[in-house]
Structure formats: C-alpha cells, structure tokens
Amino acid sequence: MRAATFLLLLLLGVACRTTTALKPKLPAESFDDTHLRDLPNYFSSPDQRRVSAIHNFLIGEYSFLRGKIGEAYNAFAQSYDLDPNPYSGGKSIHMLAEMGQLDQALVESKKLVLLYPKDYYLHYLHGQMLLRAGYHQKARGYLETSLQLNDEFIAAYHELISLHILQKQLYFALDVAKDMVNKIPSAIFGWSKLSMIYIMLNEKQLALEAARTAFEMKNTDHKLTLLYAYTLELNGHSQEAIAMYERLYRSNATDQNFIFHLAALYKHIGGLESALQLLDELANKLASTNIGVDIQRVIILWELRDYQRANEILTSIMAIHPDSNRIIYYKALTEEKLNNHAQALALYKQLLDDAELEVAARYRLALMFSQQKSYQAAIRELRTLVNHRQSNWQFYALLANVYAQQKRYASALKTVRAGFKKHPQGLELLFLRGVYQEKLNDVQACIATMKQVIKRDPTHSRAFNYLGYLMVTNNIQLPKAMFYIQQALKIEPNNPHYLDSLAWGYYKLGDYQAAHQNILQALQRMPDEPIILEHYADILIKLNKPMEATAAFNQALSHFTEARDVKRVQRKIKDVESSSP
C-alpha cells in the first residue's frame, strides 16, 4: 500500500520534499488555515491516514500554486505527520525556506537526510539550504552525494557547477559538466555550461563544439543563439556568426527582459569588455554596417553605460534604416539615457501607431513625463495603458505613483484598488494599497492590508517592516510590532531601513542601548539617510549625549528636503540647545 501511495503522488505530479515537527512559531493571525482544520479526520487505520495525507498534500500543492505559502506549509506538514515520507517532508522544508525560516529549514532538512539517507533529493535539498546559508563547502558534499545516489539528477549538477564557478574552481566545474553530458546527453543546460567553462579556460574549439550541440537541440532559444554566435566568432567563423547575430535581431529585440538576459550572458561568458572588443573587431571586418552585430554592440555599451558611443552606432544604423521602428526605439532609449529628453520624446511619439512597440513607447513616455513632473501628460499615457489590451499591474502601480507624487493619495488608492481587482496576481498593488491607506491616516486599514500581503507572501520583507514600523510609531502592540520587524530582518538581515525600524522599536520600548547598537548598524550601511540620522540623534539624547545629538540633527537637516521635516528637526535642535547647561 505504501508503494501505491508513493505512485499516486507521482502520478499527481507532486513528487517533491521535507520533515518532522516543522511548524515555525508564527503569530496566529498570520495564516488562515481554517479550511485545513475542517479536513476529514481519517485516523481509524493506517490506510485511511495515508488517504488523508494525500488529501493534505494536494491542498499544499494547490495553496503553493496560488502563492499562499503559509497555508501550503501547514498542509504539507500535516501530510507528513499523517504519513511520514521524503516527498511531503521535502515540500515542508521548501515552504520553510520560502517563508524566510532558513535556520529551521536547515535543521529539519538535516533531520530528513538522517531519516532517509538513500534519498537523493533530500541530500540535494539540504545542500541547497546550506548554499543559501553560505556554507559552500558543506553544501558541495551533499550535492555530490545526491549525484552519487542519482547520476541523472539535473538540478544537482546545476547547483554543483554553479558553486564551482562561483568559487573559481573551473576545472572542478568542467569535470562536473562533462559528467553531466556523458550521463545525460540530452541536457541542454549541461552543453551550454560546458561551452561557457571552455570559454573561461580559453578552449575555443571545444567551446564551439559544445555551443553548437546545445544550439542544435533548441535553436529557438536566444541565449543559446548568442552563445553559438559568440563561439563562432571566437573561432574566426565570422560569416556564420553574423548570421546568428541577425537571427537574434529578428527575434523580439525590444523586450526589456531579452536585453537584460543578453547583457547578463555576455558578462558570464567572457565579460562585457572582451565581448565588445570581439564584436568591434567583427564590425571592422565588414564592408558595411551589419544591423545584427551593431545591436549587440549597443546592448553591451548600454550595460557599460557608454551611452554616447551607443548613440553614435545607432545614428549610423538609422542613416541606413531610417524607417526601422525597432532602431527608432533603441535610439529613443539611448537619447533618454543621455538626458536628451526632447529627442527621446519625439522618437517615442513616432512609435505610438506601431502595434508591436506602442505599449513600450507609451510606458517610456510616462516615465519621462513623471520624472519631469509633467504629471498630466504622464497620467494621460498611463490611463491609455491601463485600458490597453496588453495592460499589466505595473501600469497601475506607476499611475498610482504619479498621483502620489502630487500627494493625491485618494486617487492613488483608488487606482491600486482597481488594478488589484483586474490583476490579482500583482501583489505589489496590495502592498501599495496599504501604503496609501497610511498616507490617508487610515492606520487600522493599513495594518489589515499589510497582514493580507504577508498572508499571501510570507517572504515580503517590506510588508513586514512597514507593518512593524507603523505599529511602533503609533505605539500599537509594541512586542508584536518588534516581531514583524524581526521577521523582515530574517529575510533581509542587512537592510538599513529594517535595522532603523528595529532601533526605533527599542527606543519606544525604552531600551536605548539596544536602540543605539542597531541604529549604528543602519548608519554604517546608509550614513546619509536623514530619517536614520534623526533617529540616531533622538537616541543620543536619551543616552545623555546632547552635543553628538546636535551634530547628528544638523547632518540630518542637510539631507532633508521636505519643509515639514526641516521644521521638525530645527525644533528638536532648539530644544536640545535650550536644555543644555
């Protein structure tokens, strides 16, 4: 029956993993698991317990797909309690990590490895947790064991190769990549990584052979196309390389993710400067301008922030292809980077009738109008975008931000409400709803909204911090407020804003030494942030250091721009001076 249970889980597509007593100590209101408490109570026989375990497991999968990590964790943990096995145990650990409970995930994943020493996935999972915690050498051992137990487990190869490259152990990475393609000849990732490692080792011909193999397996992938083009040029096959670069240009070359991935790949396979040098040499060999090669040069120059040279190349291309809307878009982006706003605006406006580029052009126009404080023009473009068939939640967020810049918080709130209703997957809109509720002095509504954000995404550190800081500043349930801030710091331990929130919480609790300790950590990371400097000065007053406090207030004053902030700090300086002997 146990084998049948595992088979059923596999058939349902839920084969994953994680532990024994797994539940972290979270506040009761963090997650709504009422529907889980109402599950059938099948405890009369082992078979019925396994059926109930499967039921919980499927609820966990469903909750995870909906982004409800807390509910997913509860369901997987209950599934494991009913029928302990590496599948549900591993899933629970994965949820713990997603919730930011890395310390507990480490402990529990180690327990599972001891319970199931022959399970390759659990060794891999514990290795992942060790990597996330920074224990690279220990992680390597578990990843290698995972591959000894299953030499066709692609994810373990991926992590181990990446780890060796990170540690600059290229020959170790090479050995793992070779093992991978020998064991799994169809692994595209293995061949592409092998090619990149050969590039790093200056083995040009071997790099080309591996890149060609990967490209032939999936010739529609722009990353593999770029890798193949690059290795062709490294080996002197210029004409073939040019054909590949032109193939890239004909793909969706205006997509920002596409541009980002190309730049990242250039960094990885040989560095931006060396890639640019290679492309420059190729361009110089050509009798005339080649649009595919030149666009690659432009992308690298953008990443190197050499916008002037990128602009020169695009001007040359436009002289030959004056009607190419893609080139016009690239030229507009570059003019924008050079702060040539009039030229950029004129170019973007040429694209408003282009079905492919209209949305991208309007979005850039809205950003530029917003930065120039031409708010009505920005609102006009964004209203068009939120009603467009290609609308997404980011357009609503930017429109709300434009309203907020004008302190029209009611309009901003109305906008994010409408956006979240239309795009419920855009959790950032829910977060912004809380922000604008607080701006409208509706503290209780903001608290309720931030709790909704945390419930849907227990890794949303900004929501934890915003909620905690809001409660601290309003003297609401200070111990719970401190808990929320500490949760934010578990997710981002070095965030100066979160450290400032923690310091201010200790200040409100009267623990001025702890406040001082944490505010110093915040200042080390962000020494010119005025609100942190102001809090630092407030803490120094409580520690009876008026001269240091005055200096910190004056430093804060030099960075504040809002009149109300300036007046508040000036008043504090006067109070210190009047109370000093």
pLDDT in tens, 144-203: 999 999 999 999 999 999 999 888 899 999 999 999 999 999 999 999 999 999 998 999
pLDDT of 571 higher than 50: yes
Domains in the chain and their CATH numbers?
186-304 (1.25.40.10), 494-581 (1.25.40.10)
Residue keyed to tokens 């209950």:
78
User: Are the C-beta atoms of 316 and 298 separated by less than 8 Å?
Assistant: no
pLDDT of 271 higher than 80: no
What digits encode the pLDDT tens for the residues 327-373? 999 999 999 999 999 999 999 999 999 888 999 999 999 999 999 99
CA distance 522 to 203: 46
Stretch 417-446: mean pLDDT, rounded?
Answer: 95
CA 308 to chain centre: 30
Higher pLDDT, 314 or 280: 314
| Structure confidence at residue 262 (pLDDT) | 62
Least confident stretch, 25-29, 154-158, 416-420: 25-29
Higher pLDDT, 237 or 4: 237
Higher pLDDT, 34 or 124: 124
What digits encode the pLDDT tens for the residues 504-534? 999 999 999 999 999 999 999 999 999 999 9
CA distance 93 to 103: 11
pLDDT of 136 higher than 70: yes
| Structure confidence at residue 266 (pLDDT) | 67
pLDDT of 484 higher than 50: yes
| Structure confidence at residue 112 (pLDDT) | 93
Stretch 82-97: mean pLDDT, rounded?
Answer: 89
Q: How confident is the model at residue 265 (pLDDT cuts 50, 70, 90)?
A: low
Question: What number of H helices and E strands is found in the chain?
Answer: 33, 0
| Structure confidence at residue 425 (pLDDT) | 85
CA distance 21 to 111: 10
Stretch 434-462: mean pLDDT, rounded?
Answer: 94
pLDDT of 42 higher than 50: no
Q: How many CB atoms lie within 10 A of CB 532?
A: 24
Inter-CA distances, 242 with 206, 277, 291, 421, Å: 20, 15, 9, 47
Q: How many CB atoms lie within 10 A of CB 219?
A: 12
| Structure confidence at residue 3 (pLDDT) | 40
| Structure confidence at residue 71 (pLDDT) | 85
pLDDT of 385 higher than 50: yes
CA distance 226 to 296: 9
Amino acid at 402: V
Full-model pTM: 0.66
| Structure confidence at residue 6 (pLDDT) | 36
Question: b/e map of 84-97 (b: 16 or more CB within 10 Å)?
Answer: ebbbbbbbbbbbbb
| Structure confidence at residue 30 (pLDDT) | 42
| Structure confidence at residue 470 (pLDDT) | 97
Q: How confident is the model at residue 270 (pLDDT cuts 50, 70, 90)?
A: low
Stretch 81-109: mean pLDDT, rounded?
Answer: 87
In the structure encoding, which two tokens stand for residue 360, read together?
């991208």
Stretch 30-40: mean pLDDT, rounded?
Answer: 44
What digits encode the pLDDT tens for the residues 278-301? 778 877 877 677 788 888 888 889
* Three-state DSSP class for residue 560: coil
| Structure confidence at residue 500 (pLDDT) | 97
Share of the chain above pLDDT 70, in %: 88
| Structure confidence at residue 344 (pLDDT) | 95
CA distance 429 to 443: 18
In the structure encoding, which two tokens stand for residue 562, read together?
């809002």
Q: How confident is the model at residue 69 (pLDDT cuts 50, 70, 90)?
A: confident
Q: How confident is the model at residue 250 (pLDDT cuts 50, 70, 90)?
A: low
Q: How confident is the model at residue 29 (pLDDT cuts 50, 70, 90)?
A: very low
Stretch 467-482: mean pLDDT, rounded?
Answer: 96
| Structure confidence at residue 273 (pLDDT) | 82
Q: How confident is the model at residue 67 (pLDDT cuts 50, 70, 90)?
A: confident
Higher pLDDT, 66 or 468: 468
In the structure encoding, which two tokens stand for residue 525, read together?
């990371």
